[in-house]
Amino acid sequence: MRSDIESTIRQLLFKENQKSIAREEIFLINSRSLVSLTRNIVFQAVISGLAIKQYSELGIIVPERGGVSFSEILTDCFKELNQRINFFPAKIFLSENGCNIEENCFSLYYGKSFIVFDDIVNTGETIRKINKFLNEKLSSQIVAVLCLIDKGGQSAETLDVLQYFPGTRIK
């Protein structure tokens, strides 16, 4: 399945002789292909050992940059795979100053565990910002990070999270 994901990403995003992609190119994928690809990454993470059985509730975070949010799609996908865990979509807004959430969400997210899904992971700065915000402001934690593309050679250790599942790695 991993080679299918990598093949799909390369087919959808890379032009001939292109070695890298920009975040904006993600939005060139048609919505049906992007949803299918996202679901496949979730399934691949589960097959690869995503350890979440010990949780009764998990929030699904897709960093918000004013674009399309996949938190509802991912929440539905995780619910299909595990009916016992209460998965819920969670929104965190990113800015140059850091992270924030809507005021009424503080009590909902406080002390909870989360899975983060990012489109492209480069330096890991976005994940580390979210992790710091969750830890310091909400006494919460990231259980796992999933992404479409890892361009920075990151790992669970470099991101300071428990688990990391990139769809594909591109150097």
pLDDT at 5 over 70: no
DSSP per-residue letters across 128-149: HHHHHHHHHHHS-EEEEEEEEE
CATH code at 17?
Answer: 3.40.50.2020
Q: State how many domains the chain has.
A: 1
In angstroms, the CA 171 to CA 151 distance is: 6
In angstroms, the CA 54 to CA 56 distance is: 7
9-21 pLDDT, tens digit per residue, is 555 555 545 555 5
Structural tokens at position 159: 């991101």
pTM of the model: 0.81
Nearest to 142 by CA among 113, 117, 121, 100: 113
In angstroms, the CA 2 to CA 94 distance is: 29
Give the domain extent around 27: 2-169
87-140 pLDDT, tens digit per residue, is 988 888 888 778 888 888 888 999 999 999 988 898 999 999 999 999 999 999
